[in-house]
Amino acid sequence: MLEIKYFTVNPFQENTYVLINEKKQCIIIDPGFYYENEREEFLRFIRENGLEVVRLLNTHCHLDHIFGNALVTRTFGVGLEIHEKDQVVLDRSPQSGLMYNLPFEPSPMPESYLREGEKVIFGEDELEIRFTPGHSPGSISLYCAQQQFVIAGDVLFKQSVGRSDFPGGNFDTLARSIREQLYTLPDNTVVYPGHGPSTTIGFEKVHNPFVPEDPSTRFA
């Protein structure tokens, strides 16, 4: 069974996730550590719990989700994995940092690409890669069927959705991703978003004003 630990970090209050299995191996998802105290807290957590970092995944490559990529790859010797369609977002990230007046150590380039439908095998556990573009061109969500949770990045939030006005974003694409790739999951699936508190698929299908289950009731 996977343990889920998260850190809320950086000026954008991004959620960085650490998935830990029973062998004390862990996957880092969207390391957004920006300030030195955030980095120290994360490294201390890994060290004090005797964890072995085995993979580094980005749900998408907006700067608030990649601030810590270089730290993780350098410290633990793991390669970055993203969806190929978000490579253009990763390539633009240094300029985005300057635009927000948040310079950061550039992310390393991906070691490999994640593809929709594939499985991230993690000991006896696995995560299904679901392609959920719209917030960014290569956004993915990571679904664990055994434990009924999904790491959704910035696609779906509690009673909200990710912005679609960034380059490569599109609201209709985002809504379709949510309805076809997330709302088709069991209602009791817990959604762990890139910002804010967790929610469930069933709750969002009924209460999300931006993407209700029935498109005809949007903003009703």
CB burial string 142-165: b at 16+ within 10 A, e below = bbbeeeebbbbbbbbbbebbbebe
Strand partners, 5: 18
- Judge whether residue 48 has pLDDT over 80: yes
Rounded to whole angstroms, the Cα distance separating 99 from 73 reads: 25
Instruction: Check: CB of residue 168 under 8 Å from CB of residue 196.
Output: no
Q: What domains can you pick out in the chain, each with its CATH number?
A: 3-212 (3.60.15.10)
Instruction: Check: CB of residue 56 under 8 Å from CB of residue 46.
Output: no
- Judge whether residue 181 has pLDDT over 70: yes
State pTM to two decimals: 0.96
Rounded to whole angstroms, the Cα distance separating 114 from 212 reads: 28
Instruction: Check: CB of residue 7 under 8 Å from CB of residue 16.
Output: yes
pLDDT at 146: 96
Report pLDDT digits (tens) over 67-113: 999 999 999 999 999 999 999 999 999 999 999 999 999 999 999 99
